[in-house]
Structure 1
């Protein structure tokens, strides 16, 4: 093996280890430093040290532990430096400086040992804290998603930019501003307790859900789906479920993502074209993911009444259990959407409920509900409303109207694959109209 290829292999190893360990390392350093931005910088310094040392010295037996150790040493150096330059405006450094002095006012010789105590802690708790900080409601949803993928997911800024189809500079600015906002707001590095925990957990779940949805149905670009985003969201959800096993909605979200992910191989054709749910080859659905999803749904149900994510998972489970499209229990799905609309009413839920009603009780029922949504400003430029209406109108034999709706939907979507599909459906209606 040439030196260049060996260096390339080690570079890939460092990248893989970083992806797995970065959240744990950044979380541990954030607990020590109380500053997510500095923690991330020092964690990345450790990765750079690996890129420099491992080609020369070889990959250590426990690469994650090696990175953690180097990162903690850098954090201790930072704390020591901050302590020596403490002043009244640096509260944390001032307190540490005072604690490290004996009664004569001189530094104790065991200063390093005292500082090292800060490096002790539960790594799993550190990751959970980091997740709550990255998803703090003080940040915008876009900033929370970018920061979560960066700090907890271990993705590089260019990867996040490609995932959301925005300029790299935009993502970089979001992340920088997010870290500055957290520092200025003095957001504590902790898992909220009591009454504060529920809304903060909702924020974490919302960010993971947002990331997953963007991967499952890409809002723009040339690809119908972005599996990398789905996998990152699912990984984050699984981590959260391990760290907060008592939270039913965490298991509900994991169940939803597991079941939805089971369809990945069947959702596109040979050339990447979209394949709609009722047209998919169900033998290609991943049964392991379905079993994992159903088990997670059971865990959610065992922790009390089903929340919004668990209800969506229960809907996905109805599809997963049906071996054929015509075996789908649409009446149960409609009932679950009724429950979801009561628990978390929204125009999007109502639109999905219209689809379910149309399948359970006939297209006229679904169209009646969809028509009620036409005047809602939030759905005025939402392409799925005319898409749903087009499908319901087609099933009623109103092909000219259906064609117009599919064409309108194609004009609204920013996803190229979806636009092609909608125009094909419009063309199909044109043929039926003249037939």
Structure 2
């Protein structure tokens, strides 16, 4: 049911963090919350959705955790941790409204726990995306360009490594050491919100907004001695991308950047991002900063035709030198096509190896511009077959249908 799906997406991380904060065991908290959602899936269609769904889920999960503790015969040893029933009940009633103070934000604590030095940075980011923000394992796998079973096994290993760790907020140098990991988490969570790889929505604004909030909270709590330049660049990048959210969809259909109504862009967020970037004009280049500068080029262009593609291509060359990834190469190929034409862009795509639908989708667009409708149709068909996001799949089908007569869209299944 949609109400429960929405709670799974929006409240999983907060509920899990509350449970971990109180019971100090990630395994119990995760299992208890999963059981609570399963119970809701059985009971809510019959009994109706409760007025406070998160409170119902938290209470049900708490009961299951207590049952597990009793079954493990550790209830007596755990009593000091369990004398919090009244407080937990109170928190359940306000779980959706509490914005969280910087030093008491439960989700930030959980992210910092997942950013433990026992884990590699990639494993920490993947675990945080799954546990804190509730991103499905399959989507986390796509973000890391891995197969779902591989990612599932990796997440299991990461959980085991954190067994017995405390939920205390790191301080001083220990906190500083985890900042970069949390930045990665925010960036990947934002990517999952801004370009979902599955589901029916073209953008998950709530998830993207949560990623931005995570950066803001982190900037507030880190010691003054920690360099915030890269966090400022990341926040600027996310604000610039997020500012276009209302223009990305029209009548339920995906709208690409060149076709967006720029009057719908959130100029206050663009202004905040540009203010963040101004002091970084002469800062050392980092991947976040260079990507933010690319996004700024789009933000300041009055129309799509005014976009400074030459500067954007130069930025992508700089980014490629910093981090040579398939996604960077894909985006650079688009810039090459804008500057030097579709043939040059297609040649650049030959240097890209990227699973999923985005590579054949870009190839199809460039083939259309090159006048090769037959090959474009094949590329569109490949992209449609690989695309798991409903909004993007429909967009690709519409683009496919515009090709010359005689090249009909493939099956819709």
Q: Tell me the TM-score normalized by structure 1.
A: 0.62
1:278 aligns with 2:258: yes
Matched residue pairs, number? 318
Residue 365 of structure 2 corresponds to which residue in structure 1? 391
Q: Partners of 1:268 and 1:353 in 2: how far apart?
A: 24
Q: How does 1:310-321 map to 2 (within 5 A)?
A: 310-321=289-300
Residue 106 of structure 1 corresponds to which residue in structure 2? none
Structure 2 vs 1, CA of residues 295 and 229 (structure 1 numbering), >3 Å: closer, same or farther?
same
Asked if structure 1 preserves the Cα contact closer than 8 Å seen for 2:27 and 2:159, the reply is: no
Higher relative contact order (CA 8 A, sep 6+): 2
1:148 aligns with 2:132: yes
More off after superposition, 209-218 vs 320-329: 209-218
Shift of 1:143: 2.1
Q: Partners of 2:244 and 2:390 in 1: how far apart?
A: 21
Asked if structure 2 preserves the Cα contact closer than 8 Å seen for 1:249 and 1:306, the reply is: no
Residue 229 of structure 2 corresponds to which residue in structure 1? 248
Structure 2 vs 1, CA of residues 382 and 180 (structure 1 numbering), >3 Å: closer, same or farther?
closer
Q: How does 1:12-411 map to 2 (within 5 A)?
A: 35=24, 37=26, 124=102, 130-136=110-116, 137=119, 139=123, 141-149=125-133, 181-184=161-164, 190-191=170-171, 193=173, 197=176, 200-244=178-222, 246-270=227-251, 272-301=252-281, 304-373=283-352, 376=353, 379=354, 381-411=355-385
SS at match of 1:231: helix
Asked if structure 1 preserves the Cα contact closer than 8 Å seen for 2:336 and 2:345, the reply is: yes
Residue 84 of structure 2 corresponds to which residue in structure 1? none
SS at match of 1:430: coil
Asked if structure 2 preserves the Cα contact closer than 8 Å seen for 1:36 and 1:179, the reply is: no
Q: Deviations over 1:146-175 (max 9, x none)?
A: 3333xxxxxxx6xx6699699xxx9xx999
Shift of 1:254: 0.7
Higher Cα Rg, which structure: 1
Residue 44 of structure 2 corresponds to which residue in structure 1? none
Q: Partners of 2:325 and 2:27 in 1: how far apart?
A: 40
Structure 2 vs 1, CA of residues 141 and 184 (structure 1 numbering), >3 Å: closer, same or farther?
same
Q: Partners of 2:247 and 2:110 in 1: how far apart?
A: 35
Shift of 1:218: 1.1
Shift of 1:134: 2.6
More off after superposition, 201-210 vs 312-321: 201-210
More off after superposition, 130-139 vs 349-358: 130-139
Residue 68 of structure 1 corresponds to which residue in structure 2? none
Q: Tell me the TM-score normalized by structure 2.
A: 0.65
Asked if structure 2 preserves the Cα contact closer than 8 Å seen for 1:259 and 1:317, the reply is: yes
Instruction: Give 5+ residue unaligned stretches, structure 1.
Output: 1-14, 45-81, 87-92, 94-122, 150-156
RMSD: 4.2
Shift of 1:262: 0.6
Shift of 1:207: 1.1
The match for 1:415 among 378, 383, 389 is 389
